[in-house]
Amino acid sequence: MTTTPRLGLLLLAVAPLLLAQCQSDTASLQPLAWVKVAGPTSERAMMDPGAVGDFDQGGTFTERAIPDGAAVTLYYGGADTTGACAGINAAHWRIGRATSADGLHFDKQPGPHTGGAILDLGDPGRFDDYLSYRPFVLHDGALWRMWYNGSRKPFNCPSGTLADDRRIGYAESNDGVTWTRRYDLGQAADGSALPLGAPGAIDAQQVGYAWILKDGEQYKLYYSANDSNNFWRVRLAVSTDAHTWTKVPGKEFGGAILDLGPTGAFDAFCAYQPSVVKERDQLYRMWYRGCETAGTFGGPSRGTIGYAESNDGITWVKIPQPTATGAALLQGATGDFDESGLTTPSVYLEGSTWTMFYAGFNHLGHYRIGKAQAVQP
């Protein structure tokens, strides 16, 4: 499988200069030096899987971290152990909630649904009736909003049959604990939040992994766009009411705002799952998942965390970071929970400290949640 040639190597070389032309205040930014924080489990992760019968018995991953001083509320995806295929390949994925007073030791807060989930599988026949995971939660005034991934297929079961129908769902809550799906507010015919692109578009096959930034009176939906060749990129849609979305074409391939990297780059085969922070006026930061090689079926495999900057939240420039590959965060050491790959970063700034929660997996395909921090230079 080949990708469309692009001037990626040149962009990597001149990225800091391009950014300086966009906004002089960002030209002097120093790279963040991320350090992984050892979690309390035997694999250095934040939480162990659940007990027998829990919705997360098979693994924990795809998280959204919301800070409140030193305390953190963690919304996350969990896999059960159902199905005929190994690991999480046939599992049902649901959404849970955990809290921590110190950002390190988490207590799971069981919800009212299957195995203690706070959001169960969708209604039979809906777009999310097999998988419901990857929550993004926004506390928006008196209302809590959640966007999440939904699919009608298992992840990879039977082997070689991938879930290739992911959509973005939407739910609401008055307290961040009890949630109600809002199929009635979906913009797509199946009740999901965002329609697919036209045939041939970079989001023609799947949309997912939403990150929403409330920027003044506008909501910016950064979402992962998947084409018919199973490549993932980042696109943007905007809204004034958080329900009716207008896609904003970016300057990259196919209207992306973040494209694949050049051959040999750490993100040559995927650049998606964005986590976006507006640090100040004319300074937006994005962390995203990058894949250096193709997976068994094309598209993503393994994964590290990359970094980009923007002065308007629309036009982005990738900034190589001080690691061997230019990524911001790399896989863990042999024996760690994240030895084989990283995914779904969730980043925030509190005071002068940046914190990243992320999911990682080992050579057995076991998924856990990890943490890294960096001090603002």
pLDDT for residue 10 is more than 90: no
- Token digits for 330? 């790399």
Beta pairing partners, 169: 148
Residue-level pLDDT at 181: 98
Residue-level pLDDT at 141: 97
Residue-level pLDDT at 13: 39
106-117 per-residue burial string, b: 16 or more CB within 10 A, e: under 16: bebeebebebbb
Is pLDDT larger for residue 23 or for residue 100?
100
The 10s digit of each residue's pLDDT in 114-128 is: 999 999 999 999 999
Separation of alpha carbons 134 and 119, rounded Å: 11
Residue-level pLDDT at 345: 98
Q: What is the full DSSP assignment across 348-362?
A: EEETTEEEEEEEEE-
3-state DSSP assignment of residue 253: helix
Residue-level pLDDT at 298: 64
The 10s digit of each residue's pLDDT in 266-314 is: 999 999 999 999 999 999 999 999 999 987 766 578 899 999 999 999 9
Instruction: Write the single-letter amino acid at 254.
Output: G
Q: Which among 238, 241, 205, 239 is positioned nearest to 224, based on CA atoms?
A: 205
Is pLDDT larger for residue 86 or for residue 346?
346
pLDDT tier at 28 (50, 70, 90 boundaries)?
low
Average pLDDT, the chain: 92
- Token digits for 24? 């002089």
Distances (CA, A) of 324 to 111, 261, 264, 320, 327: 42, 16, 12, 10, 8
pTM of the full structure: 0.92
Contacts of residue 186, defined as CB under 8 A and 6 or more positions apart, other chains included, come to 169, 170, 192, 193
Separation of alpha carbons 188 and 192, rounded Å: 5
Residue-level pLDDT at 159: 85
pLDDT tier at 205 (50, 70, 90 boundaries)?
very high
Sign of CA dihedral 144, 187, 133, 329: negative
Contacts of residue 302, defined as CB under 8 A and 6 or more positions apart, other chains included, come to 291, 292, 293, 331, 340, 341
The 10s digit of each residue's pLDDT in 61-112 is: 999 999 999 999 999 999 999 988 988 899 999 999 999 999 999 999 999 9
Give mean pLDDT, residues 221-237.
97
The 10s digit of each residue's pLDDT in 347-361 is: 999 999 999 999 999
Percent of the residues in the chain that have a pLDDT greater than 70, as a whole number:
92
- Token digits for 223? 């979402």
Domain residue ranges of the chain, discontinuous segments joined by +: 8-29+81-87+111-348
58-88 per-residue burial string, b: 16 or more CB within 10 A, e: under 16: bbbbbbbbbeeeeebbbbbbbbbbebebebb
CATH topology of domain 8-29+81-87+111-348: Tachylectin-2; Chain A (2.115.10)
pLDDT for residue 25 is more than 80: no
pLDDT tier at 234 (50, 70, 90 boundaries)?
very high
pLDDT tier at 139 (50, 70, 90 boundaries)?
very high
Separation of alpha carbons 261 and 316, rounded Å: 13
Residue-level pLDDT at 294: 86
Q: Which among 186, 133, 143, 138 is positioned nearest to 163, based on CA atoms?
A: 133
Q: What element of type H or E holds 255?
A: none
Residue-level pLDDT at 22: 43
Q: What is the full DSSP assignment across 111-154?
A: -SSGGG-SB-PPPTTSTTSSEEEEEEEEEETTEEEEEEEEESS-
Residue-level pLDDT at 17: 39
pLDDT tier at 9 (50, 70, 90 boundaries)?
very low
Separation of alpha carbons 326 and 182, rounded Å: 40
Residue-level pLDDT at 301: 80
Backbone angles phi, psi at 252, to 5 degrees: -90, 180
Residue-level pLDDT at 317: 98
